[in-house]
Amino acid sequence: QSIYGWRGAAAASFLEFVQDYAAETVTLETNYRSTRTIVEAANTLIARNGNREAKVLEASGEAGDAPIVRIENDAGVEASRGVE
């Protein structure tokens, strides 16, 4: 997973593994934890990443509130907002 990038992991490794070893890909497409609104927002962002296997996530739950998007130009402010 790309969350381990700080340890040298790369998402491209997963794609290469499938090609190199003719591995079967099992896609988990249903999100049981997030609201439909959050999953739709995530799909919009994820679709912009061209270095990934194509998929669209679906939410099992209700719509929920719209996410609040804040753009910060200061890393310290951004970090403090993340823990609010």
Say how far apart CA 84 and CA 78 lie, in whole Å.
Answer: 10
Q: Give the model's pLDDT for residue 84.
A: 63
pLDDT for the residue numbered 70? 85
Q: What is the mean pLDDT of each run of 10 residues along the chain (84 residues)?
A: 72 85 90 95 89 86 89 89 72
Number of structural domains in the chain: 1
Kindly state whether residue 21 falls inside one of the protein's structural domains.
no
Q: What is the CATH number of the domain that holds 34?
A: 3.40.50.300
Using CB atoms within 10 A of its CB, is residue 11 exposed (0-12), middle (13-18) or buried (19+)?
A: middle
Is 76 among the domain residues?
yes
* Domain presence at residue 1: no
Strands (E), 16-83: 30-31, 58-59
Structure-block tokens of residue 69? 């998007």
What is the Cα–Cα distance from 67 to 71, expressed in whole angstroms?
13
What range defines the domain where residue 56 resides? 26-82
Q: Give, in degrees to the nearest 5, the angle at Cα 28 between 60 and 69.
A: 60
pTM: 0.66
Would you tell me how many other CB atoms lie within 10 Å of the CB of residue 23? 10
